[in-house]
Structure formats: structure tokens, C-alpha cells
């Protein structure tokens, strides 16, 4: 294992700027890590080695001439295979797009390039990002580096695995119902679902839809904030775009949280959980919060209709985005994608309208809740990483589930609030599997959530552990 592959992104970028490391040196270390581990894990499904080497050499030449470079200059990165990458295959995990090569970059990709990041490839995702189990018929399944018989989660599963295994220091992801947070928890990395518009989406067919966001993933909260500084910021072509500049996230994360009012919601109002998930958080995360000096109180926000809001709006979105694919290519779509679209087809206008009204009411209830508390903490996931051959859990602790997204409700209901939410490593099950803590903050308090996550990370200590796959 090359130590460069686990050097924090901030430190790597600083060493490159000072010319203590070359871009090509850093790149070759990460390409060697991909060569060694990707055949075992299947995280990066399309590679761009030659183009990456050319970019690295060009950046080294710029640095030698003393020319300015971007914040992420020389850092190897990978893009989720839902994001358009100009000249590089983008499949969306679907056989319909097996050979599709876009002629433009998604905005997040272009911002990463502008900041000097070097693309090494695309990370695996389930078909159209549907589901928190990363597999598809184009590339197969991505395996969890903590136990290669288990799922890595999804839909940003390839990104989470690439980070955990040291293939890249930074990777972008997306999140509708937990697609940044679930794989982060399953793989012991960090995934941040920022406020809608924090990272503008473009191109986007449904650009005003607030539940689907693009965001950063890294191995630490500090690197996540550093990455966010490069990809956040306004864009006039995105209707939800937040006007705060990205460099606001370069401010120091250190903050004293003594006396912070923290709500601990054990089951988010009664969701089923595997007992080991709750045991791990209660024996690892809660003591860490006490060490920080937080005033922790057991309290559940009123999320009584958040699940219904999410399911209606998700179904509407899927039909709007993919309905025509169902009509033309039904036989080539996986069953869960079909189910999503058909759920949308069954909706009526009044149902969608009521969901939007209830989403507004939920927003106001959460605002009231956060008058009493500074942060909400709760589990990210309801289960531990399960068998990779299982598409999705059918029960949790004896509670029968009825759909493929029902086991993800601990993230879905938070998505419905549109509040910023962070998955940060919190501890390990007795079997050695990672468990993350979900930190939810006030409306658009993205930086506060990152500060709290950073403080928690320092005392919890879980993020420093490395997965067994590294040992061979």
C-alpha cells in the first residue's frame, strides 16, 4: 500500500502546490492502487489512464513555470457514472447507454476540472441510481472492502469503495434517498448531502426538484469541506442555485461544541433497525458526543408524513425522467426501475399537490424543532451491509418490508426535509462492519453541519481504520 493513497486530500494538494510532490507521482501511486484493488472490488468501471497522465504532466509543467493552478490541482478523482463526462463513456448503469459518450461535462465535473482535479475514471452505480445496492447488468456488482461478500450500498457505491480502498482521495456522488449517505456508512467514509442548490445541477431535466442533489465524498470531513469549496457556488443556469460562494467552506472547521443542544433520535419515530446498528451507535457515537460536551437529549422530530412525501415525489420524478424509456425499452430495464416509473404513472395530480403542501408543512415543523436543538443526530442506515447477492432486504428484525426502498427510510425521510445531512464514520459492529452517524442541521447550515461532523470525527476516531481488503 502506497502511503500517498491515504494522505489527506488537503495535504496532497498542499504538497503538490509546494512542488514537494509532482502530479504525475501522485497519479501513478493511485493508478497502481486501482490496478491492485479494483479487480477485487469493481469500483471504477471506466478508466482514463492515458488522458490522466497527460493532464498530470501538463499541470507539472504549469507548476514549474510558476503559473496559478486550482484548489484541487493534481488530485486524482473519479466521477459517478450518472454524471456526464465529455468524451468519456457515461452509462448511467444501464444497457440502454452502454456505449454512450457525452459531448459535454456535468457542471460538477467541469468545476472539478477547472479546479485542477485529474479524472481517472467513472465509478459504478445501479441503473439510473435506483437503489442502495450498487450493481447493474453492464458492469456487475461493486463489493465492500470491509467484507467482499457484502454490499457497499449505493447508489454512490463505486465512489465510496474507491475512497475506502485508497484509489482516489475525492469522489463526487449524488443523493435522492440516501445515495451519498448509505454507501458512506457502509464503507467508513464521509458523504455529505448538502442543501439543494449548494452544488448546482446542470444539465438537469428537472432542475427545480429539491430532493435530488449532487455532493462530495471523501475519507474525512475536512477533505469533504475542502472538496465542497471547489464544487459549490452559484450558477445562474440552475434555478435552485445558492448564491454563497464555494470558498466559504475553506474557513476553519474547528469549533467548540460544549453546550450544543443535540437531539438523539434512536429510530426516527419508530422505524425498524437491526439491533447491532443501534448498539454500535449507542456504545460509540453517544460517548463521543458526551466527550464533546454536547447536551444530548432523546427526541424525535415529527416526521409522520415524511415517508409519504418522499415516495410520492420520488415516483413523480422517476416517471418524469424515465417514463419514455419504459414505453420504448421495458425489457431492458431492471425491475426496480420499472417499479419506480409505474408508481409515478399511478399518481394523480392531487396526490402530487398534497405531497408538495405536506413538504412545506414538514419544513415548518423541522424549523420549529430546530428552535429547540442545534443538531439532530440519528442512524444513517437501518441495517448492516448485507449479502451482495441480495438485491435488497426483505425484513428488518422481524419487520416485513414491502418495497426495495423501505429499508432506506432513515435517509429518505431526512431527504424529504431538504435539510443538510452528513454521514460520518461512528464505529464498528462486533463483526467489524462500519456504522455511520447521520448529522442533520438547520436550513442551509451546511457549514455548521460540517463543523459538527469534524468535531465528532476527531473524538470518535473511526475514520482512521482501514479496510481488510488492503491486507490482501
Say how many Å lie between the first and final Cα of the chain, rounded: 10
Q: C-alpha grid cell for residue 190?
A: 464521509
CA distances to 3, 218, 285, 383, 415 from 461, rounded to whole Å, are 19, 15, 10, 22, 27
Among residues 47, 200, 25, the alpha carbon closest in space to that of 120 is found at: 47
Q: Which of 22, 80, 122, 185 is catalytic?
A: 80
Is the bond leading into 203 cis (omega within 30 degrees of zero)?
A: yes
Q: C-alpha grid cell for residue 351?
A: 396526490
Q: C-alpha grid cell for residue 7?
A: 494522505
Q: What is d(CA 472, CA 470) in angstroms, rounded to the nearest whole number?
A: 5
Task: Judge whether 80 counts as a catalytic residue.
Answer: yes
Q: What is d(CA 261, CA 368) in angstroms, rounded to the nearest whole number?
A: 14
Count Cβ atoms below 10 Å from residue 244 Cβ, excluding itself: 17
Count Cβ atoms below 10 Å from residue 357 Cβ, excluding itself: 11
Which residues neighbour 332 within 8 Å (Cβ) at sequence distance 6 or greater?
94, 95, 96
Task: Judge whether 155 counts as a catalytic residue.
Answer: yes
Which residues neighbour 126 within 8 Å (Cβ) at sequence distance 6 or greater?
93, 133, 134, 135, 136, 154, 155, 157, 334
Q: What is d(CA 236, CA 56) in angstroms, rounded to the nearest whole number?
A: 31
Q: What is d(CA 367, CA 355) in angstroms, rounded to the nearest whole number?
A: 18
Q: Which of 156, 179, 241, 415 is catalytic?
A: 179
Q: What is d(CA 236, CA 430) in angstroms, rounded to the nearest whole number?
A: 49
Q: C-alpha grid cell for residue 345?
A: 404513472
b/e map 82-118, b = 16+ CB within 10 Å: bbbbeebbbbbbbbbbeeeebeebbbbbbbbbebbbb
**Within 13 A of 90's CA, how many CA atoms are on the CB side?**
20
Q: C-alpha grid cell for residue 272?
A: 425498524
Among residues 201, 183, 212, 129, the alpha carbon closest in space to that of 416 is found at: 212
Q: Which of 22, 94, 155, 415 is catalytic?
A: 155
Task: Judge whether 185 counts as a catalytic residue.
Answer: no
Q: What is d(CA 104, CA 164) in angstroms, rounded to the nearest whole number?
A: 29
DSSP structure class, residue 152: -
Q: Can you give the C-alpha Rg of the chain in angstroms?
A: 21
Whether 216 and 453 have beta carbons less than 8 Å apart is answered as no
Q: Which residues are catalytic?
A: 80, 155, 179
Amino acid at each position: 500500500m502506497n502511503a500517498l493513497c491515504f494522505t489527506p486530500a488537503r495535504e496532497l494538494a498542499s504538497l503538490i502546490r509546494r512542488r514537494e510532490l509532482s502530479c504525475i507521482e501522485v497519479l501513478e501511486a493511485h493508478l497502481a492502487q486501482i490496478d491492485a484493488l479494483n479487480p477485487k472490488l469493481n469500483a471504477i468501471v471506466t478508466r482514463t489512464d492515458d488522458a490522466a497522465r497527460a493532464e498530470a504532466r501538463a499541470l507539472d509543467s504549469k507548476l514549474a513555470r510558476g503559473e496559478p493552478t486550482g484548489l484541487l490541482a493534481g488530485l486524482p478523482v473519479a466521477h459517478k457514472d450518472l454524471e456526464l463526462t465529455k468524451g468519456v463513456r457515461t452509462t448511467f448503469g444501464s444497457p440502454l447507454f452502454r456505449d454512450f459518450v457525452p459531448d459535454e461535462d456535468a457542471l460538477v465535473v467541469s468545476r472539478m476540472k477547472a479546479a485542477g482535479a485529474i479524472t481517472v475514471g467513472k465509478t459504478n452505480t445501479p441503473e439510473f441510481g435506483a437503489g442502495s445496492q450498487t450493481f447493474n447488468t453492464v458492469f456487475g456488482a461493486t463489493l465492500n472492502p470491509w467484507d467482499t461478500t457484502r454490499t457497499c450500498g449505493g447508489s454512490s457505491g463505486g465512489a465510496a469503495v474507491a475512497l475506502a480502498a485508497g484509489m482516489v482521495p475525492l469522489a463526487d456522488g449524488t443523493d435522492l434517498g440516501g445515495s451519498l449517505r448509505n454507501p458512506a456508512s457502509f464503507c467508513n467514509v464521509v458523504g455529505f448531502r448538502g442543501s439543494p442548490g449548494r452544488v448546482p445541477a446542470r444539465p438537469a431535466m428537472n432542475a427545480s426538484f429539491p430532493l435530488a442533489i449532487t455532493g462530495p465524498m471523501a475519507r474525512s470531513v475536512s477533505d469533504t469541506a475542502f472538496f465542497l469549496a471547489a464544487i459549490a457556488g452559484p450558477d445562474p443556469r440552475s434555478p435552485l442555485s445558492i448564491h454563497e460562494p464555494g470558498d466559504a467552506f475553506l474557513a476553519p472547521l474547528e469549533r467548540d461544541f460544549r453546550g450544543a443542544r443535540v437531539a438523539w433520535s434512536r429510530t426516527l419515530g419508530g422505524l425498524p433497525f437491526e439491533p447491532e446498528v443501534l448498539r454500535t451507535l449507542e456504545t460509540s457515537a453517544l460517548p463521543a458526543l458526551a466527550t464533546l460536551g454536547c447536551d444530548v437529549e432523546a427526541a424525535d422530530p415529527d416526521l409522520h408524513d415524511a415517508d409519504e412525501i418522499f415516495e410520492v415525489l420520488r415516483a413523480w420524478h422517476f416517471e418524469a425522467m424515465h417514463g419514455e424509456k419504459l414505453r420504448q425499452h421495458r425489457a431492458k430495464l431492471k425491475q426496480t426501475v420499472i417499479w419506480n416509473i409505474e408508481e409515478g404513472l399511478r399518481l394523480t395530480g392531487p396526490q402530487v399537490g398534497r405531497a408538495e403542501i405536506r413538504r412545506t408543512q414538514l419544513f415548518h415543523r423541522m424549523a420549529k424543532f430546530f428552535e429547540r436543538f442545534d443538531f439532530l443526530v440519528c442512524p444513517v442506515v437501518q441495517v448492516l451491509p448485507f449479502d451482495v447477492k441480495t438485491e435488497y432486504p426483505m425484513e428488518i428484525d422481524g419487520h416485513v418490508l414491502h418495497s426495495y426502498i423501505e429499508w432506506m427510510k432513515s435517509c429518505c425521510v431526512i431527504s424529504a426535509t431538504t435539510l443538510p445531512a452528513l454521514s460520518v464514520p461512528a464505529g464498528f459492529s462486533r463483526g467489524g462492519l462500519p456504522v455511520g452517524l447521520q448529522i442533520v442541521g438547520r436550513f442551509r447550515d451546511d457549514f455548521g453541519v460540517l463543523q459538527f461532523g469534524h468535531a465528532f470525527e476527531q473524538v470518535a476516531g473511526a475514520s482512521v481504520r482501514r479496510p481488510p481488503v488492503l491486507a490482501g
